[in-house]
Structure formats: C-alpha cells, structure tokens
Structure 1
Amino acid sequence: MTDGLQFTVHDEVARLTFARPEKKNAITHGMWSAIAGVVAEVERDPAVKVLVLTGAGSDFSAGADISEFGELRSSAEAAATYDKAIEAAVRALAGLRKPTVAMIRGNCIGGGCQLSVACDFRFAATGSRFGITPAKLGIVYDFQSTRQLVDLIGPAHARYFLLSGSLIDSARAREIGLLNEVHDDAALEDSVAEFTRTLCSRSQASIRGMNRIIEKILAGQSGSDAEIDQIRLDALHGEDYAEGVAAFLARRPPTFTHR
C-alpha cells in the first residue's frame, strides 16, 4: 500500500484510511494516484459490499499536501498533470457501484472535502470543519467536482464554498445538505458501522443498479436507455427479486445472496 494510505477489509466492509495524522492527513500526489486502484480492487472483490473512507487521528483530511506544490505544480503543465491524479481519484469514487461512506472527524477541507463529496454518504462528528479553498490558491476547481458539489448542496451554497473559501462547522454542513448525519465523536464509529450493516443487508443487485442510474441522472441524462432497461430487467429475473418477494410474503427478513 502507498505511504499515507491504509486499506483493510472486515465483515464485507472495506476501509481506506488517510494515515498521515501528523500532517492532518494531507494527501500527497502518491496517495491521489493510488486511490483509483484501491477503488478498482473494491469493485472487483465480491466479498466487499461497502467502502468507508476516513482519516487516522483527529482529522479526515486537510486537503492536498501543499508542500509538494513547489516541485510538482511548478508550471501550468506540471499542475495539469498533478490534477489528473486528483480527477482520476474523484472519478473512481463517484463511479463505484458499491456504496461509499465518508466518516469524518476534524478537518475536511480542500481535496479532503472533494473526496467526501464524491462519496455516496457523509457521516461526521460534531465539531468537524468543512471548506473547499481553490480561491485561496488561485486554482479553478475541475468540472466534475464542481458539478458534484452543485448537485449535492445547490448552486448558492456551492458558490459560497468555492468563491469565499470560508470554512463551516458540522451543524451548518448538515443544514445545507453536505452531510447525511452528525454524531458525537464517541458515537460516530458505531453509527457508521450500523449504517454499513444496513447497506450490506440490502439487495446488492438493487444497490448497484440504482447507483448506476443515479450516476446517469447526475451526468445530465433525462430519460431511460438500453442500459437502464437491461439493469431493471436483470433485477426482475434475479435471485434477489425472488427472495425479496418470498420474504415479504412470509413476513421474514430477506436473505440476499447476489454479489
């Protein structure tokens, strides 16, 4: 595993941890470059149903490691190359059919916030701080991440984030829709574990199919197509549908087997 990242799997849940607590989990170019490969591994592994992103210590991530910028972003061409690694990481997370959950403590700023927005869900501890700060660095945010932010919190709040570079607390982040849930720090881990267990208990055929349809909607598609029709048809002919209906009629919890 790349320095600064830890990857583990336990009980159908994979966890990718930013592991530079002494640097507030600032993300190096090597870490950015490795994320897409980790996501691909999660997608391939039939034993994994959910991916959790989190940070070691007291922070999720304070963003990209700016100490590298003097060397790795010293020209417009070098900066464009660096940005390709960020964009690949964001694209991989956003395109993962399996659910992704960002578990956030402390600082979730810049590139850290960018990655959390690319996840399907965001659970945070009270006292966490959020911001996206390209305007403090003379950077223009990329299209995909800007669209994801606008889709999540709306254009007015996205403009506030991107144009001011100001930070907000967890209460405000929940209020504007950036977060799904906020918990006391001591309860955060258990709350995320309970939610991931719920996701693991649901039909994975349904989850992955619906995640693909949502991805298409967010990309601007306005109607069904052959791929969506096939996803829905495959679900109707699948084992999960038969089990779901049988369980409902028998008034018992379903036991889904599709991976």
Structure 2
Amino acid sequence: MTDGIDLTRDGDLARLTLTRPAKMNAITHEMWSAIPEIVAGVEADPAVTVLVLSGEGEHFSAGADIGEFRDLRSTPEGVAAYDKAVDAAVDALAGMAKPSIAMIRGNCIGGGCQLSVACDLRFAAPGSRFGITPAKLGIVYHFESTRLLTELVGPAQARYLLLSGNLVDATRAREIGLVTDVFDDLERQTGEFAATLCSRSQTSVRGMNRIIGKIAAGLTEPDDEVHALRDEAARGADYAEGVAAFLERRAPNFTHR
C-alpha cells in the first residue's frame, strides 16, 4: 500500500483512510496517483458494498501537499502531469457504481474537499471546516471538480467558495448542500447509514447511482446503458425477492453482489 493511504475491509465495508495525521493528512502526488487503482479494486471486490473515505486523527485532510509544488509543479509540463494524477483520482471516485461516503472531521480543505465532493455522500462532525483554496495559490480549479462542486451547491455558492477561498463551518456547509448531513456521533451514525445501504438491493443501488451520475454529467434522455440497467433489474433475482418479501411481509434477502 502507498505511504499515506490505508485500505481496510470490515464485512461489506471498505475504508480508505488518509494516514498522514502529523501533516493533517495532506495528499501527496503518490497518494493521488494510488487512488484510481485502489478504487478499481474496491469496485471489483464482490465482498465490498460501500466505500468510506476518512482521515486518520483530528482532520479529514488539509489538502494537497503544497511542499511538493516547487518540485512537481514548477513547469507547465509538471503542472499538467500533477493535474492528470488529481483528475484521475477524482474521476475514479466520482465514477464508482458502488456508493462512496466521505466521513469528515476537522479540516476538509483544498484537495481534501475535492476528494470529498467526488464521493456520493458527505457526513461531517459538528466542528468540521470546509474550503477550496486555488485562489490563494494562483491556480484555476480543475474542470471536472468545478462541475461536481457546482452540481452540489449551485453556481452562486460555487463562486463564493472558489473565488474567495473562504472557509465555512459544518452548519453552513450543510445549508448550501456541500455536506449531506452533520452527525454528533460521526462514526456510529455513518456506520448506521452505510449498513442501510448494504441492506438494500445492490442491483438497485448501483444501477441508480450510475444513472444519477449520467444525469449529473448532462444526459437528458435514457441511453442504451440506462435501458440495459433497468431491463436487467426487471429480470433479476433481487426484483423477484423484493416483490416476494413485500407481499409476504418480511425483510428481503437480496443476494446480488
């Protein structure tokens, strides 16, 4: 495993943890570069249903490790190579069919916030702080990450966050849609929600997650993939079990992984 990242599995859950607490989990180029392969492994693992992304210690992440920038982003070619690694990490998370949850405490800033926005859901502790700070560094933010942010909070709030670089607290983040919910008992309540996702039909969860992503990316009419997802679900074992369980007034026992 890459230094600064740890992947563990606990039953249906995979947990990807940023493990540089002494550096507030600042994300190195090596860490960015490792994320796509890790995510691909989670997607391919039939034992895993949900991915939870978190940070070790008091903070989620203070962002990209700016200490590397003079060496790795000192030329246009270096900038392009670094950005390619960041974009690949964001695309991998945002493109998952299995649901992903960012579990956030402390600072979630810059590249850390970028990773959290690429997840499907964001749950935060009350003391969390959020910000996206390219305007403090003379950087124009990545297009796909800007799209994902704008999709979450709308153009006006995306402008507020990106143009100012100001930080917002967890309450404000929830108000503008940057955070899905704020939990007093973050670990327990996030685990409970993840368990709810695990209990549902994975045919439904992954199919709908994929379709939501396609709509967010601009799809306005169902394409062949959408039709195939719905047709396969209608013919699948989960549908038969779900209907039978409803009619028999019992909990369903979904088997699709």
Which TM-score band applies after superposition, normalised by the shorter structure? over 0.9
- Counterparts of 2:144 and 2:116, CA distance in 1: 14
Map of 2:206 onto structure 1: 208
| Aligned: 1:41 with 2:41 | yes
Instruction: Please give the alpha-carbon distance, in whole angstroms, between the structure 1 residues aligned to 2:237 and 2:6.
Output: 35
Q: Which residue of 1 aligns with 2:127?
A: 127
Q: How does 1:1-259 map to 2 (within 5 A)?
A: 1-184=1-184, 187-259=185-257
Partner amino acid, structure 1, of 2:123: F
Hey, what's the Cα distance between the residues in 2 that align with 1:255 and 1:165? 47
Partner deviation per Cα, 1:185-217 (whole Å, 9 max, x = no partner): xx1100011001000000000111111111110
Q: Residue 136 of structure 1: CA displacement?
A: 0.5
**Coordinate RMSD, CA, aligned:** 0.5
- Shift of residue 234, structure 1, vs aligned partner: 0.2
CA deviation vs aligned residue, 1:79-116 (integer Å, no higher than 9, x gap): 11000000000000000000000000000000000000
- Mapped partners of 2:254, 2:63: distance in 1: 38
Amino acid at match of 2:63: G
CA deviations 1:109-156 (Å, max 9, x no partner) are 000000000000000001100000000001111111000000000000
Residue type at the aligned position of 1:219 = A
Deviation by residue 1:154-196 (Cα, 9 ceiling, x = unmatched): 0000000000000000010011111111122xx1100011001
Distance in 2 (alpha carbons) for counterparts of 1:156 and 1:252:
46
Q: Gaps spanning 5+ residues in structure 1: where? A: none
2:122 is paired with a residue whose SS is strand
User: Aligned partners of 2:217 and 2:183: how far apart in 1?
Assistant: 31
The sequence identity of aligned pairs, in percent, is: 67
Query: 1:80 & 1:137 partners in 2: Cα distance?
Result: 16
In 1, Cα distance between equivalents of 2:174 and 2:147? 19
Aligned partner letter, 1:150: T
- Supply the AA of the counterpart residue of 1:140: V
What's the CA shift string for 1:24-60, capped at 9, x where partnerless? 0000000000000110000100000000000000000
CA distance in structure 1 between the aligned counterparts of 2:42 and 2:75, rounded to whole angstroms: 34
SS across alignment from 1:154: helix
Q: Which runs of 5+ in 2 are unaligned?
A: none
Question: Could you say what secondary structure the match of 1:17 adopts?
Answer: strand
Deviations 1:204-254 (A, max 9, x none): 001111111111101111001111111100000000000000000011111
How many pairs does the alignment contain?
Answer: 257
Please report the TM-score for the alignment, with normalisation by the length of structure 2.
0.99
Question: How far apart, in 2, do the equivalents of 1:78 and 1:105 lie?
Answer: 32
